[in-house]
Structure 1
Amino acid sequence: MRRRAGAAGAEDSLEELIRGRIVAGIHVGRLSAGDRLPSYREVADEVGSDLRAVARAYAALERKGLVQVRGRSGVFVAPQERVGGRVLADTAGWFVDVLREAWHRRIPAASLSAFARECTAARVVRCAFLESTVDQVESIGAELRDDFGFEVCSCTAEHFGSRSAQGGPPREARGADFIATTAFHAAELHEAAAQLGVPLVVICINPQFIREVQRTLSQGGLTVVCVDPLFAERIRLVAGEVCTEGLRTVLAADRGAVEALDLSRPVLVSVAARRLLHGMDLPRSFPDQPMISPESARELHALLVRFNLEVVRGPAD
C-alpha cells in the first residue's frame, strides 16, 4: 500500500530529526562509532510516533551508512568515513547535493564560494537582540553572531514597551538592520520595529532543544546553572507537560554550589554562567542542539541574504 503524502512527510521529518541528532553528536564528540542509540520504543515514546515509522527511519539511515541495526542488540552508530581526516561522509554527501543544486542554477562549482560570500558577507548586517534575561541575551546572541555572522547589539531590559513610549524605540535598536527577540517580548517590540522601519524577527526555541530537555527531565532530572533565575523558569515553561519537579536551579554567583555539582548528572550551563565561571571544571554544553529553531534560522538566513544581495545587486534589482 502506498503511504499517504502526509504520512510520508512525517516520516521524512522523523528521519531528519534522528539523523540531525546523530550527526550533531558525532561532530561535537558526544557520539562515536559503536555507541548505542535510543531504541525504537524510546524514540517512539519521546516523539509520539509509531514504532514502525521509527523502524523505517532507522532502516533508511542504515542504508545511508549512518547507523547499524543489529537485530535485538539494538541500533548503533556506524563507523564514519572521514574525508581529509575531519569531514563526515554524511556532510560531504550534503555538500554534493548543494553543488548539484548550484549546477541546476548554472552556478559553477568554482564560483560557488564567491556567490556564497556575495549572499552572506558583502556587508555587515546589524542585529539588535533584546530580551529580559542575561542568560538568553548571551546564549541566543552568541548563536546570532557565531552561526549567522550578524553584528549583534544586545541588551537586557524589563520593560521595552514603557521605554519606547517614553523616548521612542530602545536606544540599542537604533541603527540596526533588524530587531530580534523571543515570544516573551514580541508584542512590546512590534511598534518599535515599525517606528524604525526594520523587520522584527521573533525567535522560536528549537523543538529538538525542548525535546532533549523534556527527555532529560523525564529520565531523572536536570540542573540549570544560570545568572538569572528567570532563565530556569523559561526552561520550566518550554518543558511543558513534562514533570519539572526534577528541575533544579543553581545560580552562577553561588560558586560553592556550582563546585558541589555532580557532573556525572545532566547539567545545563548557560553561556552567561559559563562566562562568569570561567576556569571552573564545567560539563560540556548541553543539550547538543542550538536554541534557535530551524524555522527561525530560515527567517534569519533570508534576511542575511536579502541585505547582502541588496548591496551587491543594487536596489533596482
Structure 2
Amino acid sequence: MTDVIAGANAPRRKLTAALMQRVSSGLHLGLLRYGERLPSTRTLAREFSVDPRVVLAAYRSLEARGIVELRARSGIYVAAPAASGKASAPIESAWLIDVLADAMGHGVPALDFSERVRRSMQTLRLRATVLECNDDQLFSVSDELKADYGLDVSIVDIDSMNGDLPVEARQADCVVTTAAHAEEGRRTAQQLGVPSLVLSMCDDLFAEVERLLQLEEVYFVVTDTRFEAKLKRIFQDIPGSHNLRVLINGHDDLDSIPVTAPAYLTRLTRRNIGAAPLLQRVIPEARVFNDSSIRMVLDFV
C-alpha cells in the first residue's frame, strides 16, 4: 500500500520541484517579481501534460513552504519574502516541528537540540582553501563558506599557482573546488593531507537557463573574462546555445540588456556594479551551493 501511495504522489513531487525551480530561477533571472501572478493550474496542466488537480496540489505544497500564495478567486502569486528575522509563523512552525521530530528520532531530546547544534558548529575555527580559475567563482564559493559556515578561507587562482601554494593556503583543513577542477583539488588536498570537497553550484538556475536558451536570449553579467569563456563551454552543447550572451562588468554596456530578458549577475558583479538599474529587477540568490554540496560542507564541519 505504501508503494502505491508513493507512486501516486510521484507526479506531484516532480511537478512541485519543477515549479519551485522555475519560480526561484525566475526571481534570480529578473523574470519574476514578488507578488507577480503565476500561470494558472490549467495552463500548467497543458504544459506538463498532467491533471489540473496535480498542479493545484503542487502549488499548495509550494504555498506551505512560503514560495507562492494562493488567493481565492484571484489566482496564484509569487509570495512576498518575510520581513527580516520574521518568518511566517505557520511555515516556521512546520519546519521546526519536522527538524525537532527528526532529531528526536535520532535520540536527541528537543530541549537539547539547540545546544547540540551550537557545539557542532563552534567547536573549531576551520580553514578552507578554495581553488578556482576565475574571480567570479572564487568570490562566490569563499563568500558562502564564510557567511554560512563560519570558515576562514584562503583563495587560490589556479592559473597563478605555478605549482606551489601560498603559506596561508597550505594551512587549510580542507580544499574546496568545483567539478571543473576536481583533479587539481584532489591532488592539492592529498599533498596537504586534508579532505577535498568538490562542490556543485546553481544547478536549478542552470537547468532553467538551459530551458530558456531554446526560447530566447539569456544574459550573464560577470567580472572575469575567464568565467565568460567557462560559461560558453558549459552551455556549448545545449540546444539554443547561440542565445547565450555574456557581458563583462566595466567593459560592456549593461544598459543594452533588454528589460524583459532573463539576466543573471554573479555575486562579485553585484558587489561591484554600483547602482545599476539591473539590480532592481534581478533578485540575488540566497546561496549558490546545491543541496548535496550543502550536506558535504556540513558533514565536514
Please report the TM-score for the alignment, with normalisation by the length of structure 1: 0.73
Aligned partners of 2:6, 2:91: CA distance in 1, in Å?
A: 26
What residue is the counterpart of 1:62 in the other structure?
Answer: 60
> Quick check: 130-139 or 106-115, which moved more?
106-115
Matched, 1:301 2:298: yes
User: CA 1:254–1:20 in structure 2 vs 1: closer, same or farther (change >3 Å)?
Assistant: closer
Aligned partners of 1:248, 1:196: CA distance in 2, in Å?
A: 39
How far the C-alpha of 1:205 sits from its partner, in A, is 2.9
Aligned partners of 2:138, 2:63: CA distance in 1, in Å?
A: 39
Q: Deviations over 1:33-82 (max 9, x none)?
A: 5721476766986xxxx5228852541442674454989x9x61387897
Kindly tell me the number of residue pairs found equivalent between the two proteins: 291
What residue is the counterpart of 1:52 in the other structure?
Answer: 50
What residue is the counterpart of 1:87 in the other structure?
Answer: 87
Structure 1, unpaired ranges of 5+: 305-317
> Quick check: 290-299 or 228-237, which moved more?
228-237
| 1:205 partner amino acid | M
Aligned partners of 1:217, 1:38: CA distance in 2, in Å?
A: 23
% of aligned pairs identical?
Answer: 24
Larger relative contact order (Cα-Cα within 8 Å, sequence gap ≥ 6): 2
- 8 Å contact kept, 2:132–2:181: yes
| 1:215 partner amino acid | R
User: CA 1:9–1:150 in structure 2 vs 1: closer, same or farther (change >3 Å)?
Assistant: farther
Q: Deviations over 1:117-161 (max 9, x none)?
A: 11112222211111001111112222222233322211322165x
Structure 2, unpaired ranges of 5+: none
Please report the TM-score for the alignment, with normalisation by the length of structure 2: 0.77
User: CA 1:193–1:5 in structure 2 vs 1: closer, same or farther (change >3 Å)?
Assistant: same
How far the C-alpha of 1:172 sits from its partner, in A, is 5.2
Aligned partners of 1:54, 1:234: CA distance in 2, in Å?
A: 40
- 8 Å contact kept, 2:35–2:77: yes
Aligned partners of 1:40, 1:127: CA distance in 2, in Å?
A: 49
- 8 Å contact kept, 1:209–1:290: no
User: CA 1:286–1:266 in structure 2 vs 1: closer, same or farther (change >3 Å)?
Assistant: farther
Matched, 1:251 2:253: no
1:1-317 map, 5 Å: 3=4, 12-19=13-20, 32=34, 35-37=37-39, 51-52=49-50, 56=54, 58-62=56-60, 65-66=63-64, 68=70, 76-77=76-77, 86-88=86-88, 89-158=90-159, 160=161, 163-164=162-163, 167=164, 171=167, 173-239=169-235, 240-254=237-251, 257-283=253-279, 284-285=281-282, 288=285, 290-304=287-301
DSSP-derived class of the 1:185 partner: helix
> Quick check: 239-248 or 78-87, which moved more?
78-87
How far the C-alpha of 1:98 sits from its partner, in A, is 0.7
| 2:232 partner amino acid | R
User: CA 1:40–1:114 in structure 2 vs 1: closer, same or farther (change >3 Å)?
Assistant: farther
Aligned partners of 1:40, 1:52: CA distance in 2, in Å?
A: 9
RMSD between superposed Cα atoms in Å:
4.0
How far the C-alpha of 1:189 sits from its partner, in A, is 2.6
